[in-house]
Amino acid sequence: MLLEVQALEARHGLLQAVRDVSLKVAEGETLALVGANGAGKTTLLRTIAGGHRAAAGRVLFDGTDVTRSSAHKRVRMGIALVPEGRHLFPRLTVDENLRVAGGNGRKGPWSLDAVYAAFPNLEPLRRHRAGTLSGGEQQATAIGRALMTNPRLLLVDEASLGLSPVAVDGVYRSLQTVIESGATIILVEQDLRRAMKVATRISCMLEGRIVLEGTPSELTREAVVDAYFGLREAGTSQATA
């Protein structure tokens, strides 16, 4: 198991965002997290990456307990997050955004050249300030920036938010390249169809809990829809794996 999350709890002030979440991701898997807004997906990803403090539970990366490790240490170990809303450094150029992340992670196939090769639309934008880019370009830069750390585990939060369908296609093509290179990915995605196409497993979250898990072939759209809205309240945990 590359990643193991055990009974994780995370809060925003008084609000419990992640409740007793446990999951396992093996190396090479692509896990898609689906769920309504406020279900806790972003908080979960941020807590795994170290950007948010866990209130209880553990995060184990390759056997090591990283629950209390700072985010930058986790990057060094091989966890990288592409945050929801991209969060590029707006006044730094595309090149600088990429370079500032490179060298912080591990050695590996991803370098400045490799990233520009994977995202050729960024090449002409190298010296442009990141704040001036379009949504799709920013998303590509954000993914590239995470890749520069050569992660073993890539966490992608809502890569398609605010993008045109064409731009989303582009993002998913690049994600496919990353998947084929053997990386492990956890992906938060609103669009169930895309999630089903690219994931090896799907987990549905509702109000901070995982309420449904399974492979795309095991889960029907109806089952996910029910879990998503929690309307067919058949208990809080319904793993069909």
Partner 1 sequence: MASADGTVVLAAAGVRKRFGSLVVLDGVDLTVRADEAIGIVGPNGAGKTTLLNVLAGALRPSGGHVFLREVDVTAASAAKRCRMGIGRAHQIPRPFGDMTVFENVFVGAATGGRLGKKAAYSRCIDVLERCNLIDLANRRAESLGLLHRKRLELARALATGPDVLLLDEIGAGLTDAEAAELIETIREIRRQKIAVVWIEHIVHVLVQVVARLVCMDAGRVIADGEPDVVMKDSAVIDAFLGSEVA
Partner 2 sequence: MTWVNSIVHGIFLGGVYALLAAGLSLMFGVMRIINLAHGSLALVGAYAAYVFVEHTGLSAYAAIPPVVLGMFVVGYLLQRTMLERSLRAGVLVPLLTTFGLLVIIGNLLERIFSPDPKSLNPGVLGTTTWQITGTLSISPFEVLELGVAVLVLGVLQLYLTRTRMGRELRATSEDPDTAELVGIDSRAVYARAAAIAVGTAALAGIFFGMRSSFDPSSGPTELIYAFEAVVIGGLGSLWGTLVGGIVLGVAQTIGAQIDPQYFDLAGHLVFLVVLLVRAAIESGAIGSTRGVTA
CB of 104 to partner 2, least distance (A): 3
Indicate the residue among 54 and 94 with the shorter CB distance to partner 1: 54
Q: Among partner 2, partner 1, none, what binds residue 122 when CB lies within 5 to 8 Å by partner kind?
A: none
The answer to whether the CB of 82 falls within 8 A of the CB of 143 is yes
* Residue whose tokens read 């996910």: 224
Residue 12 sits in the site that holds partner 2 (CB under 8 A): no
Query: DSSP for 17-54?
Result: EEEEEEEEE-TT-EEEEEE-TTSSHHHHHHHHHTSS--
Residue 84 sits in the site that holds partner 2 (CB under 8 A): no
Q: Tokens for 82?
A: 């592409």
The answer to whether the CB of 94 falls within 8 A of the CB of 141 is yes
One residue of 36, 55, 56, 71 binding partner 2 per CB under 8 A: 71
List residues bridging with 56 in a β-sheet. Answer: 9
Q: Enumerate residues 34-63 that contact partner 2 by CB under 8 A.
A: 49-51
CB of 47 to partner 1, least distance (A): 16
One residue of 92, 112, 114, 198 binding partner 2 per CB under 8 A: 92
Q: Among partner 1, partner 2, none, what binds residue 191 when CB lies within 5 to 8 Å by partner kind?
A: partner 1
Residues 138-157, mask of contacts with partner 2 (x by CB under 8 A): -------xx-xx--------
The answer to whether the CB of 206 falls within 8 A of the CB of 36 is yes
Q: Among partner 1, partner 2, none, what binds residue 227 when CB lies within 5 to 8 Å by partner kind?
A: none
The answer to whether the CB of 153 falls within 8 A of the CB of 3 is yes
Residues with Cβ within 8 Å of residue 44, at least 6 apart in sequence = 5, 8, 10, 18, 21, 33, 205
Q: Among partner 2, partner 1, none, what binds residue 138 when CB lies within 5 to 8 Å by partner kind?
A: none
Strands (E), 149-208: 153-157, 184-188, 201-206
Query: Which phi and psi angles does 29 have, rounded to 5°?
Result: -80, 160
Q: Among partner 2, partner 1, none, what binds residue 76 when CB lies within 5 to 8 Å by partner kind?
A: partner 2
Q: Among partner 1, partner 2, none, what binds residue 72 when CB lies within 5 to 8 Å by partner kind?
A: partner 2
One residue of 58, 87, 128, 209 binding partner 2 per CB under 8 A: 87
Residue 64 sits in the site that holds partner 2 (CB under 8 A): no
Closest CA to 98 of 144, 133, 53: 144
One residue of 76, 84, 108, 200 binding partner 2 per CB under 8 A: 76
CB of 147 to partner 2, least distance (A): 11
